[in-house]
Amino acid sequence: MIDRNSRTILSVQGLRASINGTEILKGIDLTVKSGEIHAIMGLNGSGKSTFAKVLAGHSAYEITGGSVQFEGNNLLELPPEERARAGLFLAFQYPIEIPGVANTQFLRLAYNTVQTKRGKEELDPLEFDDFVREKMKLLEMNPDFLDRSVNEGFSGGEKKRNEILQMALLEPTLSILDETDSGLDIDALKTVANGVNQIANKNNATILVTHYQRLLDYIVPDYVHVMQAGRIVMTGGKELALELETRGYDWVNTGKSITGAIA
Ligand code: ADP
Ligand code: MG
């Protein structure tokens, strides 16, 4: 559906990036508008996580070409924490553990940092507690999470749910979820998908990086892109994910999609 009021949130043009002198991203073009959900699929090693990390500002990567505009500003010149404050959120493939720091403290600090940037009121611990519990109810999450150390001893599914909670609290303009579905049982997958669907609205956008089409049964993307050797080589609608599920990835090089995806 075309929304005439949508605005461009992310504009990536000819993006190239290297690590240790090896070029991984070889000219990525991608435009993401408000209200859109994009899925980026591709075989292991095609550069999906690299793309997500480069957008988030990971210091290991050297940008060797191209441009990235985020809400009309040059994203590449912002340090990672400024990107987060500007409304970019990356849920990692492997969330970190922070022993000794209670989840609720961590979440409140992250929340208040973003609130300050937006010129809004910070919440004190009691106010934050009410607020976060409300969000957790929405996401069908167990409040026990709050008192435990950040991700310590969390199961894979719990870590992913916790990331969705962070996302719900921070209300990012662009959320990038890297393989948020990997290692999840069906209940956790549904909770995560439900959370993403609750958060997505016409003013923000989501990029789902995923190897499998399974997550896309629950989160319906507007666009599906195939990444191969550091480039987006094909773009289609949600049907493309199903086509990849049944036909695999080999045919993509022939450029002949049954579902009308464009190479
Ligand atoms: P994906 O997420 O699609 O599986 P990645 O972005 O993780 O792919 O990896 C893309 C490519 O980058 C792979 O070929 C991988 O071997 C290479 N790569 C990742 N990290 C490094 C590194 N530190 N040094 C050299 N090559 C790397
Ligand atoms: Mg990856």
Phi/psi for 226 (5° steps) reads: -105, 125
24 close to ligand 1 (CB < 6 Angstrom): yes
Give the distance (Å) from ligand 1 centre to CA of residue 207. 19
Give 255's contacts (C-beta < 8 A, 6+ positions apart). Answer: 234, 263
pLDDT, tens digit (0-9, with 9 covering 90-100), for 214-243:
889 999 999 999 999 999 999 999 999 999
State the Cα–Cα distance between residues 240 and 40, nearest whole angstrom: 11
Q: CA distances (Å), 97 to each of 104, 163, 216, 228, 239, in order?
A: 14, 12, 28, 31, 37
Residue 98 is predicted with a pLDDT of 79
Residue 93 is predicted with a pLDDT of 60
Residue 219 is predicted with a pLDDT of 94
State the Cα–Cα distance between residues 195 and 218, nearest whole angstrom: 11
By percentage, how much of the chain surpasses pLDDT 70?
A: 97
Query: If DSSP codes are grouped into helix, strand and coil, which group holds residue 190?
Result: helix
Residue 5, pLDDT above cutoff 90: no
* Helical (H) or strand (E) element with 243: helix 239-247
210 close to ligand 1 (CB < 6 Angstrom): no
pLDDT, tens digit (0-9, with 9 covering 90-100), for 196-213:
999 999 999 999 998 778
Residue 92, pLDDT above cutoff 80: no
Of the listed ligands, the closest to the CA of 232 is 1
Give the distance (Å) from ligand 2 centre to CA of residue 52. 9
* Spatial contact of 28 and 230, defined as CB atoms under 8 Å apart: yes
Which of 40-54, 79-93, 107-121, 190-204 has the weakest average pLDDT?
Answer: 79-93
What kind of fold does domain 8-97+173-262 have according to CATH?
Rossmann fold (3.40.50)
46 close to ligand 1 (CB < 6 Angstrom): yes
Cα 263 to chain centroid distance, Å, stands at: 24
**Domain coordinates of the chain in residue numbers?**
8-97+173-262
Which of 15, 24, 44, 232 to mutate for ligand 1's pocket (most ligand atoms within 8 Å of CB)? 24
The listed range with the strongest mean pLDDT (17-31, 70-84, 167-181, 184-198) is 17-31
Give the distance (Å) from ligand 2 centre to CA of residue 134. 32
Atom of ligand 1 nearest to the CA of 52: 6
Cα 141 to chain centroid distance, Å, stands at: 20
Q: CA distances (Å), 172 to each of 91, 183, 233, 259, in order?
A: 11, 25, 28, 32
Residue 15 is predicted with a pLDDT of 98
Residue 148, pLDDT above cutoff 80: yes
45 close to ligand 1 (CB < 6 Angstrom): yes
Give the distance (Å) from ligand 2 centre to CA of residue 108. 29
Query: If DSSP codes are grouped into helix, strand and coil, which group holds residue 36?
Result: coil
State the Cα–Cα distance between residues 234 and 163, nearest whole angstrom: 29
* Spatial contact of 236 and 223, defined as CB atoms under 8 Å apart: yes
Query: CA torsion, points 171, 175, 181, 184, in degrees to nearest 10?
Result: -20
43 close to ligand 1 (CB < 6 Angstrom): no
Atom of ligand 1 nearest to the CA of 20: 24
Residue 1 is predicted with a pLDDT of 55
Residue 55 is predicted with a pLDDT of 96
Give the distance (Å) from ligand 1 centre to CA of residue 217. 27
Q: Which residues surround ligand 2, an ion (CB under 5 A)?
A: 48-49
Cα of first residue to Cα of last residue in the chain, in angstroms, is: 22
- Tell me what the mean pLDDT of segment 50-56 comes to: 95
Residue 2 is predicted with a pLDDT of 60
Residue 150, pLDDT above cutoff 80: yes
Atom of ligand 1 nearest to the CA of 43: 3
**How large is the angle between the packed helices 156-170 and 103-117, nearest 10 degrees?**
30
Residue 70 is predicted with a pLDDT of 97
* Spatial contact of 29 and 12, defined as CB atoms under 8 Å apart: yes
Which of 50, 51, 207 to mutate for ligand 1's pocket (most ligand atoms within 8 Å of CB)? 50
Give 105's contacts (C-beta < 8 A, 6+ positions apart). Answer: none
pLDDT-based confidence at 7, cuts 50/70/90?
Answer: very high
Beta strands across the sheet bearing 223-228? 88-91, 174-178, 205-209, 37-41, 223-228, 231-236
Residue 90 is predicted with a pLDDT of 87
